[in-house]
Every structure is written in structure tokens, then in C-alpha cells.
């Protein structure tokens, strides 16, 4: 058994600056395992950034492309457990022989070698045999090899090949990852909600998947009528991040818009008929209606005691402008972006 999980492929690994070296090195090994320039390849990075995904992708690719090659994926913990039980049953030689006969060895989480002297010794010998026979070895680690507290002879061998780092993807890449994962579920995440989620998940892609799974669950529980909106996303995000920057409140909207048009917040509630102020006021009303639960009446009140038909008229004006005026449309999407990501 190769222990491969076919869900993880190069096709569904989204590339970005944060991972292109690691991804391309992994692909190079997978395309040419018998003669890789990177032996060993070590992929390191924090938890949840795609190390296991890439390692599995190598295995799956080789299995497809070179069906005769023996590929083995193993976590360092599993390897240790196998070793321990083989010692108990006097079968360590069999185990080692079996490992020595693979063509490609994929070892996940080698930070688990720390403090395991016996595993390190066995692995040292195995590594030497494989490498002498030109068998590809790829490993992952949650820290750079230089920071790995293992026997020096083992560490120096791990440094013979290539080390490639995985870091957290930028916002756009995170959004692409979320979209790609969401596409394989039944839920549709509107772009503004996706951006909101990705803005707040800043350290770990696995959490991004956690949020998505939660949204799917909520939708399942609440039924098809349930829209994936900002409110629901916020509810779910609370379980993943301690601080969601800011609530989208009328106040945040007013400050964002005033800021954008170089006005004071007070101007929005004033009686001024100055063109720029009127526009900013109408846009603010439109956005408050869109992003909060405020009624037309209460919106009128917060904009200097205007009546509800004035608010309605303002909202309609903005909607019309969005149809006809490119500049307004651009301003609005910029404003919405600022408001959505809570940086009002």
C-alpha cells in the first residue's frame, strides 16, 4: 500500500509566490523521479500551508505517470510505530528491506524525528541506501532543517538536496484556493463573502477549509434558502479567529465614505446641497441599506433627519448611477472593498 490520498494533486494545488519554488521542485521530482537533481527535496513551512498536499501530489503524479515505480508515503510517526513494533517482533530487517526497495520515498513531518534516537539511526541508514541507488526522497518539515534538533550526520545529509519553503499565500491566492475548494462543494460563495473570509484567515489554509466546511454545514442545516452572506460568514469566522476586525456598522460606512471623498462625517448629515456632499450622502445611504439591517426610517434619521422617501430616492439614484456611470461604479466597488474587509 502506498498510503496515497488521491484528493491531493498538482492540479488542485493553487500556485502563488508563496509556494512556487516548492511546487515547481515537487513537480520536477514527480516528472523525473529516477533522476532528480533535488535529492533529497525538503519542503518546509508552518502547519496548514500545503506540505502534505504537495507530498501526496508527488506520489499521485508518479503513480499515474510511472505505474511500475514503487512509491511510498509515510509519516514519521507511522514510521516510528512500524519500527517499534518490528523490534517487538524481531522483524526490523524485513521492515528495512521493504523500505529499501521503494523507488520513491515520501516522508511527512520529519520534525517528529526529534528525540527519537533509534528512528534517526534506522532512517540514516535507509536514507543512505536509497540515495546511493538514486531513489528519490522527499520530506516535509514544520521548520527549516537547520533548526531541526537531530543528529548532525542526519541533518547534514538532509541539507544535500534542495530546501523549499512554503509560506502563507497572499489575499488573492487565498481567494483562489477558497474558490477552488468551494467549487467542489455544493455551495456558492459570493465574491464579497470570499474576500471577507480570506482577509481574516491569515495563517493557515486548513482553517480556510474549516470555514468552508462550516458554511456547507450551516447551509445543510438551515436549508437551501440559506444564503451564504456576510452575516453567516462572520458567525462562522468567530470560531476560527479571535478578532474580526470591525463590524460593518452605519458608523464604519459613514467614516469610510467621508474619508474617501475627503469630507467630515458631519457633512453627510448636514443640509448642504454641494454636489460632492450630496453624492457621498447618497452613496452612504445606499451602502448602509445594503450592509446593515437598518430600516429606511432609521437611515433617514442618521443622515440628519431625512424622511424615508428621501432615503429611497437616494438609493435609487445610486443604483441608476451604477448602471450608467463607470466612475461611480468603480468608486463603489472600492468603497465596498474597504468596508467589507473591515478597514473602514
Q: Which of 44, 53, 157, 306 touches ligand ADP (CB under 6 A)?
A: 53
In the chain, where does DSSP find H-type helix?
A: 20-31, 51-65, 76-88, 92-100, 117-132, 152-158, 171-183, 191-200, 205-222, 230-237, 250-260, 265-269, 275-291, 296-302, 308-324, 326-340
285 contacts ligand ADP (rule: CB under 6 A): no
Is 342 annotated as ligand-binding? no
29 contacts ligand ADP (rule: CB under 6 A): no
Cβ 273 vs Cβ 306: under 8 Å: no
How many Å apart are CA 166 and CA 154, to the nearest integer? Answer: 22
**Phi-psi bin for 266: left (phi > 0), alpha (psi -120 to 50), beta?**
alpha
Given ligand ADP, Mg ion, none, residue 206, with its beta carbon under 5 to 8 Å by kind, binds ligand ADP
Q: Which stretch binds ligand ADP (CB under 6 A): 70-78, 183-191, 203-211, 298-306?
A: 203-211
What distances in angstroms separate CA 178 from CA 3, 8, 62, one per listed residue?
Answer: 26, 15, 27
What distances in angstroms separate CA 35 from CA 29, 39, 131, 213, one per listed residue?
Answer: 8, 9, 11, 40
What distances in angstroms separate CA 208 from CA 22, 191, 205, 227, one per listed residue?
Answer: 21, 15, 5, 19
48 contacts ligand ADP (rule: CB under 6 A): yes
33 contacts ligand ADP (rule: CB under 6 A): no
300 contacts ligand ADP (rule: CB under 6 A): no
40: preceding bond cis by omega (within 30 degrees): yes
Q: Which of 150, 177, 236, 341 touches ligand ADP (CB under 6 A)?
A: 177
336 contacts ligand ADP (rule: CB under 6 A): no
The residues binding Mg ion (CB under 5 A) are: 51-52
Q: Which stretch binds ligand ADP (CB under 6 A): 9-17, 144-152, 274-282, 336-344?
A: 9-17
How many Å apart are CA 125 and CA 61, to the nearest integer? Answer: 27
Given Mg ion, ligand ADP, none, residue 292, with its beta carbon under 5 to 8 Å by kind, binds none
Q: Which stretch binds ligand ADP (CB under 6 A): 11-19, 215-223, 258-266, 268-276?
A: 11-19
Is 48 annotated as ligand-binding? yes
140 vs 314, beta carbon nearer Mg ion:
140
51 vs 340, beta carbon nearer ligand ADP:
51
Helices 117-132 and 92-100: crossing angle in degrees, nearest 10, is 40
| Binding site, annotated residues for ATP | 48, 50-52
- What residues are designated binding site? 48, 50-52
Which residues contact ligand ADP (rule: CB under 6 A)? Answer: 12-14, 19, 45, 47-53, 177, 205-206, 209
Amino acid at each position: 500500500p502506498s498510503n496515497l490520498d488521491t484528493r491531493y494533486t498538482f492540479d488542485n494545488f493553487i500556485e502563488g509566490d508563496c509556494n512556487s519554488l516548492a511546487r515547481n521542485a515537487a513537480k520536477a521530482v514527480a516528472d523525473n523521479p529516477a533522476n532528480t537533481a533535488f535529492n533529497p527535496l525538503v519542503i518546509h513551512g508552518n502547519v496548514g500551508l500545503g506540505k502534505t498536499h504537495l507530498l501526496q501530489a508527488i506520489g499521485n503524479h508518479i503513480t499515474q505517470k510511472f505505474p511500475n515505480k514503487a512509491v511510498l508515503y509515510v509519516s514519521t510517526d507511522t514510521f516510528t510505530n512500524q519500527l517499534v513494533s518490528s523490534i517487538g517482533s524481531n522483524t526490523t530487517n524485513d521492515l528495512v528491506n521493504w523500505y529499501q526497495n521503494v523507488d520513491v520515498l515520501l516522508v511527512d513531518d520529519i520534525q517528529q524525528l526529534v528525540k527519537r534516537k533509534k528512528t534517526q539511526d534506522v532512517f540514516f541508514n535507509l536514507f543512505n541506501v536509497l540515495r546511493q541507488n538514486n531513489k528519490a526522497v522527499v520530506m516535509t518539515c514544520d521548520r527549516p532543517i537547520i533548526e531541526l534538533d537531530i543528529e548532525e550526520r542526519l541533518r547534514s545529509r538532509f541539507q544535500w538536496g534542495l530546501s523549499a519553503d512554503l509560506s502563507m499565500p497572499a489575499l488573492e491566492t487565498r481567494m483562489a484556493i477558497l474558490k477552488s475548494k468551494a467549487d467542489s462543494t455544493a455551495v456558492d460563495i459570493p465574491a464579497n463573502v470570499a474576500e471577507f473570509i480570506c482577509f481574516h484567515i491569515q495563517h493557515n489554509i486548513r482553517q480556510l477549509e474549516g470555514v468552508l466546511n462550516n458554511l456547507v454545514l450551516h447551509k445543510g442545516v438551515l436549508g437551501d434558502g440559506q444564503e451564504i452572506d456576510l452575516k453567516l460568514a462572520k458567525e462562522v469566522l468567530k470560531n476560527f479567529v479571535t478578532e474580526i476586525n470591525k463590524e460593518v456598522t452605519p458608523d464604519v460606512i459613514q467614516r469610510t465614505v467621508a474619508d474617501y471623498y475627503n469630507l467630515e462625517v458631519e457633512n453627510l448629515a448636514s443640509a448642504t446641497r454641494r454636489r460632492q456632499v450630496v453624492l457621498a450622502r447618497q452613496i452612504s445611504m445606499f451602502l448602509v441599506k445594503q450592509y446593515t439591517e437598518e430600516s429606511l426610517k432609521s437611515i433617514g434619521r442618521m443622515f440628519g433627519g431625512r424622511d424615508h422617501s428621501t432615503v429611497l430616492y437616494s438609493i435609487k439614484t445610486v443604483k441608476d448611477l451604477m448602471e450608467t456611470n463607470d466612475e461611480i461604479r468603480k468608486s463603489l466597488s472600492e468603497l465596498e472593498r474597504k468596508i467589507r474587509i473591515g478597514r473602514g
